[in-house]
Structure 1
Amino acid sequence: MIRALLICAALCLPWAAAAQPAEPQGPAPSGVISITDDGATDLAILNRISSILAQLPDFDGLRVGVDAGIVTLRGEVAEQASVDRLKTLIARMDGVVAIEDSVRLSTDLATRLDSVRERFQARLTRMIAGLPFLLLGLAVGAVIVLGGGWLSRREGILSRLAPNPFIAGFLAQAIRLVAWIVALVVALDLMGARALLGTLLGAAGIFGLSLSFAARDTIEGVVATMLLSLRQPFNPNDLIEVNGLRGRVIRLTSRGTTLLTLDGNHIRIPNQIIYKAVLTNYTRNPERRFMVDLAIDPGADLGRARDLVLRSLRGMSFVLDRPEPVA
């Protein structure tokens, strides 16, 4: 029984090995394979590859052979990325049919350390060469931020652009935010970090999309603040009433409006509630009618009582003649 199992396993091993997918050999050469085997073509390919390797110090330990258009690479290298780059170059040559990669990664510690040292020196050299642009980007970014801060503190300019103090404060915050964004974009562009800039913009888009779902109420409050600032239903110190809450407006932020009630309490109402609710502004129109109910003796003369009330109202300095008081 055991012998039969061993025989079946031995018969299945070649089929299993044949069924395994071959490892990728790099980019496949493009073009039509010639039906003739030309030794001159192989020699030309070998000479061309040898001339390329002579110009690249990373491939000193490589040996190249060409037979019937098949390029064979042997030897050791410090990094696999170098071999991949070489195979990409060879695949572009005319007449190359296939590339046989027999290159091994070097296990010599000194060779690996030399490769790391060369990469570090190259990056350090690029960093030193880009230092002036780094300083220029930081300087220009700082100037833009300082200019935005200076403009946001110019109350005279903001008051001419937005007579409402609440809108002026909101505009000052927007100027500072735009200044920071412009400074970041300009600084990264001057530093040559366009790839980082694109990454940041892409991340900002994804973050903004995620934030729009997670902070829907906050975004709704910001939009309501912008709409309230544009429509201006009230000004600072106006006496308003919202959902039965009455008080004077003392502050408008990006999230809520703060009222000072007539008895001295502070009430903060979310801006989205104020935007959707019925709002009464008692200060916008200086003329306001008050309704007062008075109780009198049922046996008294109602006409004389009404005339007495009207004479008393006309004698008060804060009661207007037009519209006249009514009893």
Structure 2
Amino acid sequence: RTYRDSVFFNETILATPRAILFAFLNWATRLDGGLAILMDLAIVALSFLALLFVARFVRSIARRWIGRVPTISNLLEAFLEGVVFWLVVVIGLLVVLASLGVNITPLFAMIGGASFILAFAFQDTLGNLASGLMIMINQPFDEGDYVEVGGVGGTVKSVSIVATTVVTGDNQVIVIPNKNVWGNVITNVTASDTRRVDLVFGISYEDSIPEAMEVLRRVVTNHPAVLKAPEPNIRVHQLADSSVNFICRPWARTEDYWTVYWDLTHQMKEAFDVAGISIPYPQQDVHIKTQVG
């Protein structure tokens, strides 16, 4: 074998480019040469296309099966569908390669070694991967929820295996690594059907507290988006430096929260003006003492 390889190497070095070209063309047109490799490549390509079709079919079946689980989130559903799709593709390719006589055992060894190396090289990415799985399993939020996390507030657009994409109120798209999402306090604003609207109104010390209470109750009760139950909570809350402060805490549906907040702020100012109740500016009394010498 060594003698044959050395003769072939020397013949290749001494051969003219024309001879090498003819030798290559002869090898490429032989059934046990280039045509065999071309046929194997064609089989792999056609098998890959067929596997994509099969994987999509299996994914559609998995989608119908997963959709029957009432407690599963849209995020976890999309993740499981992707896992099913790529498992079918990878396993199918391995079966095709094995049927063509390719030894796939070294491939598994190579994947194992590469995984060990990549685990050290991509520690942050693996952290985001683990956090993404925790988000999908524990379901602190779902697509379409308004959340506040990592100093960012917005509507969840999508969650991949490594990052969460939210859209802010002014239509900015922000991508947050999942490690920062799962490692921080998550506030899901839209998880509940109803929310309490917390408002504070101040009146002057010279104004009547019963009259102010009556105005507050009337304005809150007349608003169509304020819920009857739970009942609104209106109380004198604080004797501040410049005003007597009332808390006004009606309940509304989550989607009506800001409508109620802005409407009551607007309407309460106008109602106080009509009733002759003032909202005082911050003020301070200064007493000057003179010393007679």
Into which bin does the TM-score normalised by the smaller protein fall? 0.5 to 0.7
The residue identity in structure 2 corresponding to 1:284 is A
User: Are the aligned partners of 1:144 and 1:182 in contact in 2 as well (CA < 8 Å)?
Assistant: no
1:175 matched residue in structure 2: 84
Question: Are residue 303 (structure 1) and residue 210 (structure 2) matched?
Answer: yes
The residue identity in structure 1 corresponding to 2:73 is N
The residue identity in structure 1 corresponding to 2:145 is D
1:212 matched residue in structure 2: 119
163-172 or 266-275, larger mean C-alpha shift: 163-172
**Following the alignment from structure 1 to structure 2, what is the Cα–Cα distance between the partners of residues 256 and 130?**
41
Q: Which of 158, 179, 184 does residue 272 from structure 1 map onto? A: 179
The residue identity in structure 1 corresponding to 2:3 is A
**Following the alignment from structure 1 to structure 2, what is the Cα–Cα distance between the partners of residues 159 and 316?**
43
Q: How do 1:217-256 and structure 2 match up within 5 A? A: 217-256=124-163
Q: Over residues 226-251 of structure 1, what are the superposed CA-to-partner deviations in whole Å (9 max), with x where a residue is unaligned?
A: 22112221122111111342221122
Q: How do 1:10-29 and structure 2 match up within 5 A? A: none
User: Are residues 199 and 306 of structure 1, via their aligned partners in 2, closer, same or farther at CA, if it must alter by over 3 Å?
Assistant: same
Q: Over residues 164-189 of structure 1, what are the superposed CA-to-partner deviations in whole Å (9 max), with x where a residue is unaligned?
A: 33223222321232123112210121
281-290 or 160-169, larger mean C-alpha shift: 160-169
User: Are the aligned partners of 1:141 and 1:186 in contact in 2 as well (CA < 8 Å)?
Assistant: no
TM-score, with normalisation over the residues of structure 1? 0.56
Q: Which of 314, 318, 323 does residue 225 from structure 2 map onto? A: 318
3-state SS of 1:248 partner:
strand
Deviation at 1:287, TM superposition (A): 1.6
Q: Which of 57, 67, 74 does residue 165 from structure 1 map onto? A: 74
Q: Which of 54, 59, 82 does residue 147 from structure 1 map onto? A: 54
User: Are residues 129 and 316 of structure 1, via their aligned partners in 2, closer, same or farther at CA, if it must alter by over 3 Å?
Assistant: closer
Considering only CA atoms, is the larger Rg found in Structure 1 or Structure 2?
1
1:185 matched residue in structure 2: 94
The residue identity in structure 1 corresponding to 2:84 is I
User: Are residues 168 and 222 of structure 1, via their aligned partners in 2, closer, same or farther at CA, if it must alter by over 3 Å?
Assistant: same
**Please, which runs of 5 or more residues in structure 2 have no aligned partner?**
15-22, 235-293
Deviation at 1:215, TM superposition (A): 0.9
Question: Are residue 78 (structure 1) and residue 3 (structure 2) matched?
Answer: yes
1:281 matched residue in structure 2: 188
TM-score, with normalisation over the residues of structure 2? 0.62
User: Are residues 152 and 316 of structure 1, via their aligned partners in 2, closer, same or farther at CA, if it must alter by over 3 Å?
Assistant: same
User: Are residues 167 and 161 of structure 1, via their aligned partners in 2, closer, same or farther at CA, if it must alter by over 3 Å?
Assistant: farther
**Following the alignment from structure 1 to structure 2, what is the Cα–Cα distance between the partners of residues 139 and 214?**
35
3-state SS of 1:268 partner:
strand
User: Are the aligned partners of 2:47 and 2:93 in contact in 1 as well (CA < 8 Å)?
Assistant: no
**Following the alignment from structure 2 to structure 1, what is the Cα–Cα distance between the partners of residues 37 and 212?**
93
**Percentage of pairs with the same residue:** 22
144-153 or 251-260, larger mean C-alpha shift: 144-153
Deviation at 1:216, TM superposition (A): 1.0
User: Are the aligned partners of 1:159 and 1:165 in contact in 2 as well (CA < 8 Å)?
Assistant: no
**Following the alignment from structure 2 to structure 1, what is the Cα–Cα distance between the partners of residues 85 and 229?**
49
The residue identity in structure 1 corresponding to 2:85 is R
3-state SS of 1:295 partner:
strand
User: Are the aligned partners of 1:249 and 1:259 in contact in 2 as well (CA < 8 Å)?
Assistant: yes
Q: Over residues 81-132 of structure 1, what are the superposed CA-to-partner deviations in whole Å (9 max), with x where a residue is unaligned?
A: xxxxxxxxxxxxxxxxxxxxxxxx99xx79xx9xxx9xx99xx776678988
Deviation at 1:136, TM superposition (A): 6.0
3-state SS of 1:144 partner:
helix
Question: Are residue 198 (structure 1) and residue 105 (structure 2) matched?
Answer: yes
Q: Over residues 180-230 of structure 1, what are the superposed CA-to-partner deviations in whole Å (9 max), with x where a residue is unaligned?
A: 311221012101112xx1121111111111111111111111221122112
124-133 or 240-249, larger mean C-alpha shift: 124-133
The residue identity in structure 1 corresponding to 2:202 is A
Q: Over residues 43-92 of structure 1, what are the superposed CA-to-partner deviations in whole Å (9 max), with x where a residue is unaligned?
A: xxxxxxxxxxxxxxx9xxxxxxxxxxxxxxxxxx9359xxxxxxxxxxxx
The residue identity in structure 1 corresponding to 2:90 is I
Deviation at 1:155, TM superposition (A): 8.6
The residue identity in structure 1 corresponding to 2:171 is G
**Following the alignment from structure 2 to structure 1, what is the Cα–Cα distance between the partners of residues 41 and 150?**
55
Number of aligned residue pairs: give it.
217
The residue identity in structure 1 corresponding to 2:80 is L
